[in-house]
Chain A
Amino acid sequence: MSTAHAGRQQGRLWRWVPLAPATLLLVLFLAGPIAYCVWIAFTNTQLTGSSSSDFVGLANFRRAFADENFRNAVWLTLVFTFVSSIVGQNTLGLALAGLMRAASRPVRTLTGALVIAAWVLPEIVAAFLLYAFFRREGTLNAILDWLQLPSQNWLYTLPILAVSFANVWRGTAFSMLIYSAALSEIPKDITEAAQVDGASGARRLWHITLPMIRRSIGTNLMLNTLSTLSVFGLIWAMTRGGPGNRSQTLPVFMYDQAFQKSLIGYGTAVALLLLLVGSLFSLVYLRLMRVEV
């Protein structure tokens, strides 16, 4: 026993060696690019021609805030995040989780399977399916025709709403799973007591259910917002940010500036802003969870 103990003492440093490969990868491929991102954002690096890149200070950022297209992208990102993540995925997820508790088993299973299938499908496939759904000749208009309602070319008239709904379709399962878990942890006797006291459904929801799951709500809102902020493939495959720039959220704008317009420096500055917003949300999230590690 004492030799084993001595051996362990000696291996005090050695025991941390298994951390090395992961740390190396994270430093090289994650911390590295982030540091590079911070550097490039202050230069005027371009994709083409001259390899010269000069330090330009805050010029990229000043340019961004003066750029109408950038402000448009910020606005669209806000709309996209608000509609699809905060209102759509979050509320629908909560509603589904709540309804599932009251519903019969086969309906619950069926709905769960469909919502989750939409979530598991690869992003690009989801984008095609929703593209087909919202197209002029697509299913949505077929239904509207059948209901005698006016149809329109959704991807042209309301592109940002179309991609927002696509994101709701694709991402609601996550909220649904989180809220299902949270709701199942509310002790039954509490809700039943309120029911006996004659509290209406709405009052029970507002005064009992929501306060009891508030940490899950916080967690879910943060994670949804973070994943929505970085949606690229879905929008790119459905509209490419168009028509014009009417569904060009920040990631699409960033890509467009960096690669279509070859302004790597400027695109990276936008990326850095996105990263900052993401970090801010992450910190709030960590704070909110008060993680015990």
Chain B
Amino acid sequence: MLNRRARARLSADAALLLTAAAFALPLLWLALASVDADADLRVRAPSSLTGDNFTAVLTDEITFTPMLNSLLLCGSATILTVVCAALAAYPLSRYRSRFNRPYLLTILFTTCLPITAIMVPVYGLFVQVDLIDTTYGTSLFLATSQLPFSIWLMKNFMDGVPTVLEEAAWTDGASNFQTLTRVVLPLMGPGVTVVTIYTFIQLWGNFFVPFMLLLTPDQLPASVSIFTFFGNYGSVIYGQLAAFSILYSAPVLILYVLISRRLGGGFALGGAVKG
């Protein structure tokens, strides 16, 4: 019996390692090419180790401006999303009304809509109301695109906060807003953190929205500028492309590690996946 279990474990290990290797190869290329003086498209040991690729891309034009743009764009959108989601989640979580269920179902329905499909009309509308090529306009749209899921998550986290303390606060004459900001939100700190970071990660990687709505090169976030960089130089200087990719991906990888423990399987599509 033990023998059979050991054999099962061994074959499972072998199968997993094979898959892991397949998943690792592209990542390995990224790591190796970024320190290779003359990188090509194959995974191979660097002909000579160098940090030149990183120094070459660490310029205002290639790295700093786009990263700052990304931070501005995604940071403001994230704040907007989280604030709106927290506000909206509160009545949805605390008060009963006929109107809760349809509202939440609509939110959940919207969560699943392919945002890609509405980008053409969004572009059209943005041209008409003169929001095209503005960071705040794009940021507003990005925030909205993440809003349904954030509201849903936030509401689920909020449902987990007991109402006893709020009732005490109400009795003491606190307003709803005070109750929310002083009592409920601090109690669901981890939940708010997860929603914030998750939203930010999603926005940081978003390519299509800024690709459509922003035109001026100076305003482009890293997700789009890296694409342009690739189009212009990518087929020549793979080492620099890899270095830039690492710099651009690092923030989200780090942020993900920070919240990963809270993101167990059930989270994957959030509170939404209720067994």
Contact = CB atoms under 8 A, between A and B. Distances in A.
Interface string B88-114: 101110010100110111001111111
A29 B156 CA distance: 24
Given A182-B275, A268-B120, 4 more contacts: A19-B91, A25-B147, A37-B118, A132-B26
B16 A96 contact: yes
12 contacts: A22-B84, A25-B143, A33-B121, A37-B118, A99-B12, A115-B20, A125-B245, A178-B268, A271-B117, A271-B121, A282-B113, A292-B274
B207 A132 contact: no
Contact of B87 (A21, A111, A126): A21
Interface residues of A, number: 103
Contacts of A133: 25-26, 29
Interface stretch (A57-65, A156-164, A202-210, A215-223): A215-223
Contacts of A74: none
Specify which of A28, A92, A222, A230 lies most central, judged by the most chain B CB atoms within 10 Å of its CB. Answer: A230
Interface residues of B, number: 102
A174 B226 contact: no
B275 A25 contact: no
B109 A283 contact: yes
Interface in A223-277: 223, 226, 229-233, 237, 251, 254-255, 258-259, 264, 267-268, 271-272, 274-275
B265 A293 contact: no
Contacts of B13: 103-104, 107
User: A-side binding surface: helix, strand, loop or mixed?
Assistant: helix
B204 interface: yes
Interface stretch (B49-57, B185-193, B249-257): B249-257
B41 interface: yes
A179 B19 CA distance: 17
B265 A219 contact: no
B19 A275 contact: no
A209 B140 CA distance: 44
A19 B87 contact: yes
Interface string A78-107: 000000000000001001100110111001
Given A4-B173, A219-B269, A15 B95 contact: yes
B64 interface: no
Given A123-B205, A291-B105, A281 B9 contact: no
A124 B170 contact: no
Contacts of B207: 122-124, 232-233, 237
A286 to B, nearest CB: 6
Contacts of B88: 18-19, 21-23
A190 interface: no
B241 A128 contact: yes
A149 B53 CA distance: 34
Specify which of B101, B124, B260 lies most central, judged by the most chain A CB atoms within 10 Å of its CB. Answer: B124
Contacts of B226: 124-125
Contacts of A117: 23, 27, 253
A29 B141 contact: yes
A177 interface: yes
B268 A177 contact: yes
Interface string A122-156: 11111011101101011100100000000000000
Contacts of B45: none
Given A102-B8, A278-B112, A22 B87 contact: yes
Contacts of A28: 144
Contacts of B177: 18
A190 B67 CA distance: 52
Contacts of A289: 272-274
A40 interface: yes
B190 to A, nearest CB: 19
A255 B253 CA distance: 30
Contacts of A1: 171
A185 B125 CA distance: 47
A128 B116 contact: no
